[in-house]
A and B are shown apart, each in its own frame.
Chain A
Amino acid sequence: MSETILSVGIDIGTSTTCVIFSDLTIENVASSMKMPKAKIVEKNIRYRSPIYFTPLRSNTELDTVKIASIIEAEYRAAGIRPADVKTGAVIITGDTARKENAQGVLHDISEYAGDFVVAVAGPALESILAGKGSGAEQYSTEHLDNVCNMDIGGGTTNTATFCRGTLIDTDCLDVGGRLIRFRDGTLEIAYIFPKIQQLAKEQGVIASIGTTLTERQISAITDCMAEAVLEKLKPAPEKPAYFFLKTEKKEKRANPPIHAVSFSGGVGRLLYEPEPVNPLEYGDIGVYLAQSIKKNLMTRGIQVIQPLETIGATVIGAGNHSVNVSGATITITDYGVLPIQNIPILRMNDVLNMTDETYASEFRQKAAWIQGQEKEQNIALNVEAGRKLNFRSINDLADKVVAGAQELLARQDILVVITREDCAKVLGQCLQIRLPEGKKVVCIDSIDVGNGDYIDIGTPVGIGDAVPVVIKTLAFSY
């Protein structure tokens, strides 16, 4: 038995915008004498739009009207009505997410998004989607290797590192092809990103709008950008340029060694192609940056693999890889509450080893931190016990969850609980009998989430009770 759902991916990036539609096939992979188990077994791209330049009204504003009309035209060209789309993601990426009206765009195109298409932007999610869409995750799974995908686009470079198929790290740097743009056919600067201007200055290159650069000066800047990006391939980056160009200040931490690297995105694609005759084909530093990276890579002796997708990695990630399916035996006491969108995750670890008091106080503290002033905001509770659960410990868990959530339940009618272990049917049942009439339980399993994630839960896909789930990592964290 299998079900097919239509998914859309829309990527509005610094330089390009693209739309894809794919069919995701979900099957019951358990034998007929076992409990059902839902899995996405096939992902087929049904339609792929041409690559458009992202319409801008100015350097700081997106052209909402034009973006909406591109998307509308692509739906028509593909012969798809927004109502046919069951899932997917609209993602605003790179430098674009920093535009003043980015959030407004998501609002304006929401009518094309169907009921359960998530609208997001954020460097971590972008890295993850590009890493999956490029095929780096699959390569890492199949070769049992540590692979880093670097999606180098117009505005940012998003890296995702997979260790034997598991995501272990994401990062984002202000390195991209369109951070310096030139006037038609010349080397006169039309736009320069402030951080790059500063970086150039440190290299002794004075670059501002109107300045004409020499090729050597451009290379000095792009060499420095390449050095910063590839520093990421070291287990513990140390070069100041890397830290300077990082978009988020995270703590230094050591990663396992990376065995292979793949490149995607517009600039990433250039690494696998013969050098263009005219380096100013795109009117920016993209070609120079690709050359600098190529040159730098040769000194490192790391294996470079060609991904399945380069320029389309992010959009394919959004269309094909943004959705997960939950376990097929879960608890949803009222299907009317679905879809549930945009609820933050509150994670509680090692729950069974906590006293009721510690649990309650930690829960209250985290809830206050997540909700801030918005006391009406619901929270999805992610409980992990860190071991196999028997019936008694599931009951203990349910006691703790219900006791801790009293304050939340005073304002909310829906209790959302998420676990990794396959126990959502019995845990949901235990929760339900502990709650007063009128309170609804949504308890799903086989989903990996963490603090800081947001989650969307869709309507059942038709295999057991399984529901589609989209995990978003920090929307708009720029």
Chain B
Amino acid sequence: MSVRNYDEEKIVKAIISALEMLEDKGTSTVAAKDVTVKVHVQEAVGQVDDVPDEKLPDIAMIPEDEICFVDHLKNREAILELKKTTPARTLSGRVGDREKTEIVFRKNANLSAMVDAVWKPLDREFVKKMGYPIIKTKPNSKDEYLMRPDLGRELDEENLEIVRTKLKKNPDVQIVLGEGQSVLGLETSMPEMLPALLQGLEANHIDYGTPIFVEYTRVGVGDLIGKTVGAKVVCVILGERPGHLSWRGLGCYVTYAPEVGILESKRTAVTTIQDDGGTPPAEAGAYVADLIKRILQEKKSGVDLVL
């Protein structure tokens, strides 16, 4: 696999030969040196700029397990086999004591994906298509949501009214969905997880009332909603704070007998629900359905529930 449209070695060689040439000619001024080197190098690797951008491979999209920049490997095949055991960035190689250009680019690309996951505006059409009531917590902007976790657990009167009037009362489980800190997680993993969860609940004859979508979601808002509708259990599924390799992840928090201010230790969590290195979303949905069934049977969740 090659991700380069230039030949590092060729460039280095061209520069060295240009410098040697200068020595021979005894060129004295810095500017003259600069120009000569530039011309020479361009001659040597002139085709660089001929490749149109759209023909270049997207460095960020190459799967991590195909990347191996360590030179002179004794058994490259075996090393690549080992790489399949971890999604982490390994075998990135180096140039002197610097990172390779591709690695710097890939890190930047991953970082951008992380930032996008948080900051990408919520796709209202996508949310509307889910067909559930839509509310928002107190923050008025993404900035405020990120800076004030406390406000993300609260609802103003208008939104609370929707909870009181539009949701089915006293369900076995109240499902609360949200974009949380990853809009990409919501968009890619929720359509896989949710149907499996609902199918599982139906198969177990568990009443899941009316699921609700909450913008600017914090896990704690589920306690308020669950308590308000009189649900036995609340299940909050929201976009997970992204990391360099996980920006499509969902987190799921199931709490028995929810009430505002309940201890975090009372929640049973299933995290990193995503393809590639996480829990496959559809399988997680089916698993959480069974988990909710058990929590209803044992009447407890979190550290009290021994799985």
Contacts and interface: CB of A to CB of B under 8 A. Distances in A.
| Size class of the contact patch on chain B | 20 to 34
Contacts of B282: 389-391, 394, 423, 426
B78 A144 contact: yes
B297 interface: no
B228 interface: no
Given A34-B279, A35-B279, A144-B82, A425 B199 contact: no
Given A35-B284, A464-B307, A391 B270 contact: no
A164 B199 contact: no
Interface string B62-105: 00000000000001001101100000000000000000000000
A15 interface: no
**Helix, strand, loop or mixed for chain A's interface?**
loop
B192 A391 contact: yes
A384 interface: no
B203 A144 contact: no
Interface string A7-38: 00000000000000000000000000111100
**Helix, strand, loop or mixed for chain B's interface?**
helix
Contacts of B285: 391, 426
Contact of B286 (A388, A421, A429, A464): A429
Contacts of B279: 34-35, 422
B243 interface: no
Contacts of A425: 283, 286-287, 290
B271 A33 contact: yes
B269 A144 contact: no
Interface string B266-282: 00011110010001111
B250 interface: no
B57 interface: no
A432 B269 CA distance: 26
B203 A423 contact: no
A430 interface: yes
Contacts of A127: none
B287 A35 contact: yes
A277 interface: no
Contacts of A329: 283, 286-287
A423 B283 contact: yes
A344 to B, nearest CB: 27
A426 B192 CA distance: 11
B46 interface: no
Nearest to A425: B286
B297 to A, nearest CB: 15
A433 interface: yes
Given A144-B81, A164-B78, A464-B307, A33 B270 contact: yes
Nearest to B290: A425
Nearest to A388: B275
Nearest to A31: B271
A422 B78 contact: no
Contacts of A35: 270, 279, 283-284, 287
B304 to A, nearest CB: 13
Contacts of B78: 144-145, 164
Interface in A429-458: 429-430, 432-433
B287 A33 contact: no
Nearest to A423: B283
Interface string A378-403: 00000000001111001000000000
A35 B290 CA distance: 12
Given A164-B78, A426-B196, A34 B280 contact: no
Nearest to A465: B290
B203 A433 contact: yes
Given A34-B270, A35-B283, 7 more contacts: A388-B280, A389-B280, A422-B279, A423-B282, A426-B282, A426-B283, A426-B286
- CB-CB nearest 8 A-B residue pairs: A144-B78, A426-B286, A425-B286, A391-B282, A33-B271, A33-B269, A426-B282, A426-B196
Interface of A: 33-36, 144-145, 164, 329, 388-391, 394, 421-426, 428-430, 432-433, 464
15 contacts: A33-B269, A33-B271, A34-B270, A34-B271, A34-B272, A35-B270, A35-B284, A144-B78, A144-B82, A391-B191, A424-B283, A425-B290, A426-B283, A433-B202, A433-B203
Interface of B: 75, 78-79, 81-82, 191-193, 195-196, 199-200, 202-203, 269-272, 275, 279-287, 289-290, 307
